[in-house]
Amino acid sequence: MVKSKSDRLYRFTVAAILVLIGLVCFFPMLYVVSVSLTPYDEYLRQGGIVLFPRKITLEAYAQFWKEPYVSDCFGNTVFITVAGTAANIFVTVLMAYALSKKDLMFGRFFTVFCLIPLLITGGLVPTYLIVKNTGLINSLAALIFPTLVSPYILLITRSFFSSIDAGLYESARIDGAGEFRILFAIIMPVSLPIIATIGLMYGVGHWNEYFASLMYISESSLRTLQVVLREMLNRASQMEADVVVPTRTLQMAGVVISAVPIIMVYPFLQKHFTQGIMLGAIKG
Amino acid sequence: MQAVIAKKSVGKKAVWKQLKNQKAFFLMLLPGVIFYLIYLYLPIFTAILVSIEDYSVKKGIFGSAIASPWFKNFQFFFKSPYFWPLLRNTLLISMLKMLLGIPLAVALAILLNECRSRKLKRVVQTLTYMPHFLSWVVIYGMCFVLFSETNGLINDWIRTLTGSSVPFLTNPDSFRNLVIGSDLWKTTGWSAIIYLAAISGIDPQLYEAAYMDGATHFQTIRHITLPCITNVIVLTLILRCGSVLNAGFDQIYVMYNEGVYSTVDIIDTWVFRTGFENFNLSLSSAVGLFKSVISFFMIVTVNQIAKHWGESLW
């Protein structure tokens, strides 16, 4: 194949558009970081437009951390992200593995049972009433148990398990291993892509948890970080005399702290993740 | 006679034996099934019950009196002045997100596939995924520094170019654009994954043969890439149509304010306010249930349509 001039132009155009798209995605994030690092008086002097801060300070971050409830609520978010995701993965994997067995008795029934909530849901208020009646109001458990298994993620996991070579089970079964042993010692190690995938899906949901906290938790020190941040962002738009208005740089420091930890996780899981989501996507 | 009985008991024995063999599987299903029953199925029945009641917190789900007539809450909503504006806003936002979002994601996937530099491809992919991990609260915060009329960066640029600023955060029409734009920014990279996966499954020999025959790049995209991923596009379209009443509650509730209700107040935000701010739990449940039932029929219907295309969700 001859590399023609038009071919090179085409490659260049494709690359240029991609660079532009990358910038559109990345630039707003960079700008927020840039504002958060600017000293407040410098921010005011530039009329709020700080593309490249001339001086850099971490003052806003220190100030955000000292805001009431921030450190508590950061801890809550870390807790529900770690404990919640672990519980999600555990229950989802157990369930999906059993459902993936072709000879499972009542298998058809269980599959339909797990599919129905994908099509019809109770809605916000009825779910709230159940959470209330199961005694979870004002406890971090309300942010974990009511979303223990996502029907959609369960389906992805099940189709992954269904695609594992049946010979793997058979050889283990001949060796006399129990079903739990087979799952944890043989299947789990080859299932890292799917575990990373669903772990990330659940984890992002927990880290960004806002509504469950808003609905189920009124105790200030038990809320999630997102709720505190939203409250702080809105305090500025209400012009009341008795509230201390947080500065823009302080708000942006809050935005960065609420976003960076979950973004940092992604590169570590990326390798597995792309593989896992593709499997999920292809199997549907 | 005896043989029949023997055979029967053997059959029963076999079932018992199979059940016993599968004890471990049932044990694995147990925690999930309990969760499903309590937090996914019970709310559906609660929704039916509470929406036909005059629910009072004191009397509880079972103690509250049935509304008279039982469809009072549904009737109230349909006859209320909110109904049509809410439905219009919901459908408009949802359709715009879908009709702009799918082509953008397909275009991004095709561009990434056409890119010959692996490094650039990886960097752009990572950058376009990133917004998916940000919460709507975080994006709401970002909107302040970018779109604020007094000290937002984008508005500063617009002012330099045109001499006047755009009230993105307070004008109802601009705000709807902001809602749709920020949704595209957050989701396009992520939704491109599925198309990219479909494209990577295309046989490379097809492209080689086409180039041998002198096809241009645009021709290969038009006649190879697009036809090969049509089924995936149709499938995602179906999924999106089924959830056309979900216009993005998470996003809109976090971002909106009273000044822009006229264009972005959707069914879900209204349900949330009715339930948790005005404490009319029965009305809120009724509208939520109505939405859920319509969505259910939508999904079933679009799936029937999809079957004619040779695609199906189940």
The domains of chain B, with CATH numbers, are 2-72 (no CATH), 81-308 (1.10.3720.10)
Is the predicted pLDDT of residue A282 greater than 50, yes or no?
Answer: no
Are the beta carbons of A154 and B126 separated by less than 8 Å? no
Same domain, A45 and A85: no
Work out the mean pLDDT of chain A and round it to a whole number: 87
CATH of the domain at A252: 1.10.3720.10
The answer to whether residues A27 and A161 belong to one domain is no
Residues A18 and A137 in one domain: no
- The number of domains in chain A is 2
Token pair of A71, please? 């450190």
Show the 3-state SS of B134-197.
CCHHHHHHHHHHHHCCCCCHHHHHHHHHHCCCCCCCCCHHHHHHHHHHHHHHHHHHHHHHHHHH
User: For residues A144 and A268, is the Cβ–Cβ distance under 8 A?
Assistant: no
Per the CB < 8 Å rule, is A278 touching B26?
no
DSSP state of B67: P
Place A19 in a pLDDT band, splitting at 50, 70 and 90. Answer: very high
Same domain, A115 and A232: yes
Alpha-carbon span B48 to A129, nearest angstrom: 13
Banded pLDDT at A269 (limits 50, 70, 90) = confident
Per-residue model confidence as pLDDT tens digits over A198-252? 999 999 999 999 999 999 999 999 999 999 999 999 886 555 555 566 788 999 9
Asked if A264 is an interface residue toward chain B (Cβ–Cβ < 8 A), one would say no
Residue A181 has a pLDDT of 86
Top mean pLDDT of A122-136, A162-176, A223-237 is at A122-136
Residue B39 tokens read as 């937090």
Is A214 found in the same domain as A200? yes
User: Which value does ipTM take for this structure?
Assistant: 0.90
Residues A30 and A72 in one domain: no
Low-confidence ranges of chain B (pLDDT < 70): 1-10, 309-314
**To the nearest whole angstrom, how far is the Cα of A109 from the nearest Cα of chain B?**
12
Q: Would you tell me which residues 137-196 of chain A have a C-beta closer than 8 angstroms to some C-beta of chain B?
A: 145-149, 151, 154, 178-180, 183
Q: Are residues A210 and A143 in the same domain?
A: yes
- Which of B 230-259 lie inside 8 A of A, CB atoms? 235, 250, 253-254, 257
- Judge if A265 and A152 occupy the same domain: yes
Contact map slice: A 53-92 vs B, CB within 8 A: 91-92
Model confidence pLDDT, tens digit, residues A76-96: 999 999 999 999 999 999 999
Which residue among A57, A78, A95 closes a domain? Answer: A57
Same domain flag for A23 and A49:
yes
Q: Which of A41, A57, A73 is the last residue of a domain?
A: A57
| Chain A contact present for B133, CB below 8 A | yes
> What is the domain extent for residue A14?
5-57
* Nearest residue in chain B measured CA to CA from A228: B137
Q: Are residues A118 and A145 in the same domain?
A: yes
Whether residues A21 and A131 fall in one domain: no
Q: What local confidence, expressed as pLDDT, does residue A284 receive?
A: 38
pLDDT tier, A4 (very low <50, low <70, confident <90, very high otherwise): confident
Residues A248 and A119 in one domain: yes
Residue A229, chain B, CB below 8 Å: the answer is yes
Among A16, A37, A57, the domain-final residue is: A57
